Structure 1
């Protein structure tokens, strides 16, 4: 099931310990929510950066990082910070993330409006993909915060 919250902060949702966000495949997390992930999960960022540098993180990939209390899903949605996100990459990475979550009994994931902020895509196009892929994983609740507000 997908729940859309108009405003909020994914890190302040008390019932959620698993998070997802869109990433570039160049190893940069310098703006937007990616920067918040980098600051909050420094070791994850170093592993992600090394994966990118070695060519091990590409469009459509998922880097799942267990931080002890939950998992951060880094979704390969754009080639670099200079390029737009790609709808096909969002769909592929979402499918991989939800399969991983299903196999590992992860039942709640919070995420921002992936690909539609700095990624430059039209949010309604991304929502169609999210809703389509999520319908095959009714055991997983996705909580999507559409607009950041530190509540």
Structure 2
């Protein structure tokens, strides 16, 4: 199931302990919401960087980081930050995220408007992919915040 929230902050949603965001596979988290993830979860960032450097995090991949009761799904939506996202990478990583969430008994994941800001994709096309992957999903609810509000 997908619930769209017009404005908000994924880190302030009540009852949410799992988050996702689109990532490049070049090891850069220097802009957008990625900076907040990097600051909140420095160990996650170090492992993400290591995986990127050795080719263990590629477009379409999902890197799940767990920290106590919190979880972060890093979605490989871009090969490199200069190139932008690709819809096929978005779909593959979202599909992998939903499967990992089920395996880890994670039933709610908050995410921002992925791949349409710095990723340069059309948001309506990305929403179509999100709805196709998770729209009928009963075990995992995606809470998608379309516009960031501090």
**TM-score interval (norm. to shorter):** over 0.9
Structural mapping, 1:79-90, within 5 Å: 79-90=79-90
Gaps of at least 5 residues in structure 1 are none
**1:18 Cα deviation from its structure 2 partner:** 0.1
Does structure 1 residue 53 correspond to structure 2 residue 49? no
Q: How many residues align?
A: 150
TM-score (norm 1): 0.97
Match of 1:135 in 2: 135
Structural mapping, 1:67-86, within 5 Å: 67-86=67-86
- Per-residue Cα deviation, 1:35-63 (whole angstroms, up to 9, x for no partner): 11001100000000000000000000000
Match of 2:15 in 1: 15
Structure having the higher strand fraction is 2
Gaps of at least 5 residues in structure 2 are none
Does structure 1 residue 95 correspond to structure 2 residue 95? yes
- Per-residue Cα deviation, 1:60-114 (whole angstroms, up to 9, x for no partner): 0000000112210000000111111000000000000000111111000000011
**1:23 Cα deviation from its structure 2 partner:** 0.2
Q: Secondary structure at the match of 2:148?
A: coil
1:46–1:114 Cα change, 3 Å: same
Match of 1:43 in 2: 43
Considering only aligned residues, what root-mean-square deviation do their CA atoms show, in Å? 0.8
